[in-house]
Amino acid sequence: MAINNRYDFVMIFDVENGNPNGDPDAGNAPRIDAESGFGYITDVCLKRKIRNYVELVKDGEAGYNILVKADKSLNSKFTAAYEAENLKKGQKGKNADDVKKAREYMCKNYYDVRMFGAVMSTGDDPCGIVRGPVQINFARSISPINVQDVTITRQARTTEDRMGTGSTEIGKKSVIPYALYRAEGYVSAALANKTTDLSEDDLELLWKSIINMFEEDHSAARGKMCMRKLIVFKHENALGNSPSHILFDKIKIEEKNPVPRCFDDYSIAVDENMPEGVEMLQKI
């Protein structure tokens, strides 16, 4: 049964001596707004961590497969949906009912399709387009970030020719000494009921995934990343009782130190006076 309440949510997390989201256009350095100096992290990066956690926790459980991952081509997964539903494969001008059945199969069997939606209209066996009920904005740092290029050495050379120039070579890695990020998201009960049938159990798994998204994703490159706050605004109906920006403005983050280097260098104020029909839930 699909959810009946609209939700809005705010994630607050930090990074210490790491690169939370490298930019391929800048030598994989941390992403930064060139005009303001504030750092940002893409929605794709955040959703990848949620997908990875769900796959780890559910481990192949029925209904919790992950569509967007590097195992098989997307088109082969669409064809598998046609096979599972005994639909005619590889025909031009697909029957609309067949596409609908295939789309329903994908929503039922793939968690990330139910959650984030997907464009599945490619290949000979299209499954249509799903607009996901859960959307996440880019995360943005609270303060301008300071990207540092750290010189490193390595002793393992890749080729015999390079071995001839010495036993070590120099490299670089880009890190942020410290940054606090904020990201905002939305859960549409209207879209859940219309298309994906996103359930309350699915939603609880989303909150659990957000809380733990960095705990199973540690690496030297990303440094120390921690989810500090997850604040959820629950509306009493499917269409909502307040515009999301009014709720997001209830959370104010300010610097206590002109050069923040830890979480305690910020103050977070939460106005708990909610509009009528909205409940605030502090998950962490």
pLDDT tens-digit profile of 57-80? 999 899 999 999 999 999 999 999
- Of the listed ranges 59-63, 245-249, 262-266, the least confidently predicted one is 59-63
* Rounded-to-integer distance, Cα 253 and Cα 235, Å: 23
Confidence grade of residue 107 (pLDDT, cut at 50, 70, 90)? very high
Q: Which helix (H) or strand (E) holds 114?
A: helix 111-116
What tens digit of pLDDT does each residue of 24-34 get?
Answer: 999 999 999 99
What tens digit of pLDDT does each residue of 154-208 get?
Answer: 777 777 777 777 777 787 889 999 999 999 999 999 999 999 999 999 999 999 9
**pLDDT for position 170:** 83
**pLDDT for position 139:** 98
Please state, for a pLDDT cut of 90, what percent of the chain lies above it. 86
Mean pLDDT of 229-253: 98
Q: Coil, strand or helix: which one is 12?
A: strand
* Rounded-to-integer distance, Cα 115 and Cα 2, Å: 12
Q: Which long-range contacts (CB under 8 A, 24 or more apart) does 73-81 make?
A: 74/120, 74/122, 74/123, 75/122, 75/123, 75/124, 75/125, 77/106, 78/102, 78/106, 78/120, 78/122, 78/123, 78/125, 78/126, 78/127, 79/123, 79/124, 79/125, 81/105, 81/106, 81/109, 81/125, 81/127
Task: Report whether pLDDT(50) > 90.
Answer: yes
Ramachandran region, residue 117 (left: φ > 0; alpha: ψ -120 to 50; beta: rest): left
* Rounded-to-integer distance, Cα 232 and Cα 207, Å: 9
pTM: 0.93
**pLDDT for position 94:** 75
Task: Report whether pLDDT(1) > 80.
Answer: no
